Copies of this chain bind each other. A is one copy, B any other.
Amino acid sequence: MAEQRTITLIVVDDHPVVRDGLRGMFESAPGFEVLGEAADGVEGVALAVRLDPDVVLMDLRMPGGGGVDAIAELTRRGARAKVLVLTTYDTDSDTLPAIEAGATGYLLKDAPREELFTAVRAAADGRTVLSPAVASRLVSRVRTPAAAGREPVSAREREVLELVARGTPNKEIAAELFISEATVKTHLTHLYAKLGVKDRAAAVAVAYERGILG
């Protein structure tokens, strides 16, 4: 445990405070070297390519260059660096996309120092590190191998979706379609699963992105 090579890393986060905190934390610990920082995904990719670190600590939600895209880009380029996603919330809806995009690990910013260090070492070795919440979600994903891709939306579900996009509350949707509110909720639950989202607002967004609406 005592003998280890130095692990190089870069920090990609739009919040200077977070960057400083991470840099300070890792520089004060033996065995780590922070090569640089970036404030968004695009910068992050450029920096990773230029500095070739062992590990990239990446925030997911950033203005101008989302973290998921950055991870995908690094993966596409076959970068050597392992990406460790550091996010504020485990409920983050980008969890799975990030992992699918090629992230090696995923954990919360409020994790204890030692856990961070351990995670970075693990990531450098190519081992996967997941926070418990993410891990359990992965399991459920395996159980339901559906949610990700092009799950077709049924005609009825699409009708509901259209009304949702117009701001119609469930009760009115029910009246409009001559069904009960319970049924509307069922359709919505199915839609959320198919579209890989958690609420109606995100469902509408995904629907537009996929051309289901608009």
Chain A contacts to B: CB under 8 angstroms: 15, 61, 63, 88-89, 91-94, 159, 163-169, 172, 175-176, 178, 197-205, 208-209, 213-214
Contacts and interface: CB of A to CB of B under 8 A. Distances in A.
Contacts of A93: 166-168
A89 B175 contact: yes
Contacts of A172: 88-89, 91-92
Contacts of A197: 167
15 contacts: A61-B176, A63-B159, A89-B175, A165-B201, A165-B202, A165-B204, A165-B205, A166-B205, A167-B199, A167-B202, A167-B203, A200-B201, A201-B203, A201-B204, A208-B208
A134 to B, nearest CB: 15
Nearest to A173: B61
Given A89-B175, A214-B208, A214-B209, A198 B159 contact: no
A153 to B, nearest CB: 15
A156 B92 CA distance: 21
A110 to B, nearest CB: 11
Copies held by the complex: 2
A166 B203 CA distance: 8
A152 to B, nearest CB: 18
Contact of A167 (B167, B201, B213): B201
A91 B175 CA distance: 13
Contacts of A168: 93
B163 A61 contact: yes
A175 B208 contact: no
Given A200-B201, A204-B208, A208-B208, 16 more contacts: A61-B166, A61-B176, A91-B172, A92-B172, A164-B201, A165-B201, A165-B205, A166-B202, A166-B205, A167-B197, A167-B198, A167-B199, A167-B201, A205-B208, A205-B213, A208-B213
